[in-house]
Amino acid sequence: MDRTEKHAFVAEMAAVFAETSMVVVTQNKGMTVADVTKLRRQMRAAGATYKVAKNRLATLALDGTRFDGIAPLLKGPTALAWCRDPVAVAKAAIEFAKTNDKFVVLGGALGTQMLDASGVKALSELPSLDALRSSILGLLNAPATKIAAVLQAPGGQVARVLAAYATKDEAATDEAA
């Protein structure tokens, strides 16, 4: 990389850090190209981005952003993963770390809150944004369903009482005959 490419990279990463909500720092020592390709596919499927970055350039890009607390994690062969949905990137990283022992999650940052590896793991165990939206929608629809059931219940009870009287009357006429 020449100097202009480095400046462009730092500017690009600074722009990414300005618009994302979650950054995960990982260590990728000894991973094969096939492993990294599989990881990138999983990240892309989750809506996240995974990039191997020079530590010095990533540190320069972190300066002045809300993620500057992760700079001490940038030692050795590291890579960054980010996404607007914090749970998605954490889930994708932790899922891949379970299947590949050469991929280690070092920590991350959720806004200004710094997370260690266990914090990222705890975040990955939360339901995704889409799952939360669907559960909220279910809660909003539940009262309407319950109201409909309550309104239908008296009619059903009246029908059952009438049916019981009808069968009782039939039983009484059968016994008399």
State pTM to two decimals: 0.68
**What pLDDT is recorded for position 146?**
65
| Angle at alpha carbon of residue 33, lines to 124 and 50, rounded to 5° | 35
Integer Cα distance of 50 and 57 in angstroms? 16
**What pLDDT is recorded for position 88?**
86
SS3 103: coil
**What pLDDT is recorded for position 150?**
57
Integer Cα distance of 119 and 154 in angstroms? 52
Range of the domain at 19: 3-126
Verify that 49 and 112 share a domain, yes or no: yes
Provide block-wise average pLDDT over 10 residues at a time, the chain (177 residues): 86 87 88 90 90 88 85 88 86 90 89 86 79 76 65 65 72 65
Verify that 141 and 120 share a domain, yes or no: no
**What pLDDT is recorded for position 2?**
80
Verify that 49 and 94 share a domain, yes or no: yes
Verify that 93 and 163 share a domain, yes or no: no
Verify that 38 and 79 share a domain, yes or no: yes
Q: Where are the alpha helices (DSSP H) in 26-176?
A: 33-45, 55-62, 86-99, 117-124, 129-176
**What pLDDT is recorded for position 64?**
81
**What pLDDT is recorded for position 171?**
67
Verify that 100 and 90 share a domain, yes or no: yes
SS3 80: strand
Residue 98 contacts residue 45 (beta carbons within 8 Å): no
Verify that 29 and 75 share a domain, yes or no: yes
Verify that 151 and 119 share a domain, yes or no: no
Domain of 117, CATH number, reads 3.30.70.1730
Integer Cα distance of 82 and 46 in angstroms? 11
CA dihedral 53→60→63→80, nearest 10 degrees, is 0
Verify that 57 and 92 share a domain, yes or no: yes
Give the total number of structural domains in the chain: 2
**What pLDDT is recorded for position 38?**
92
Verify that 96 and 133 share a domain, yes or no: no
Verify that 27 and 90 share a domain, yes or no: yes
